[in-house]
Amino acid sequence: MAQEPPAQDQMHYEAMAQEALRGVVKAALKRAASPEGLPGAHHFYVTFKTDAPGVSGPVDLLSKYPDEMTIVLQHQYWDLAPGETFFSVTLKFGGQPKRVSVPYAAVTRFYDPSVQFLLQFEAGADGAQPTAGPKPAEGEAAAVDAPPAEPVDPAEKVVSLDQFRKK
């Protein structure tokens, strides 16, 4: 018997899942921007594509990181403004306050090391994989270039939620 070709996902479930998980990032940033701020030891490393449409910030800063940049939201951040499609925040780089605006679609990695919570996203519609750079030092905001990611087997995209459940 001839085997039928696999059905094409015309619903675009992967894109819908990515969008839903970016909603977690948005909700976390909204909580951090609330008057109560970040609870306990929570803090975030947010990695994003600096060349993605809608990313804005000082040219001298973004030109240092032509591909990806990681920012830390912990002790020294101001005016965090999470909107519906992007967030803006003022951070210190080299002791100077600088404002960056990042669309959620440009975020490739969101990590809260206090609870080992990590989300990684597709870099774009072209199928490019996100990269995971080294973790910046805690304290002042940091930006890092990330090395290219290894190709990912589609079977490795399956995420088990068991690791996030309380035991």
pLDDT tens digit sequence for 62-96: 999 999 999 999 988 999 999 999 999 999 988 99
Looking at the predicted structure, is the pLDDT value of residue 138 above 70?
no
Confidence of residue 156 (pLDDT cuts 50, 70, 90): very low
pLDDT on residue 146: 37
* Mean pLDDT value across the chain: 79
52 or 3, greater pLDDT: 52
pLDDT on residue 5: 82
Burial class (CB in 10 A: 0-12, 13-18, 19+), 123: buried
Question: Is this prediction's pTM over 0.75?
Answer: no
Amino acid letter for position 74: Q
Do 81 and 41 contact (CB within 8 A), yes or no?
A: no
Over the stretch 20-55, which tens digit does the pLDDT of each residue have? 999 999 999 999 999 988 999 999 999 999 999 999
CA angle (43, 58, 89) in 5-degree steps: 30
pLDDT on residue 3: 80
83 or 129, greater pLDDT: 83
Q: For the chain, list the domains and their CATH numbers.
A: 39-108+122-138 (2.30.30.220)
Q: Which pair of structure tokens corresponds to residue 124? A: 């774009």
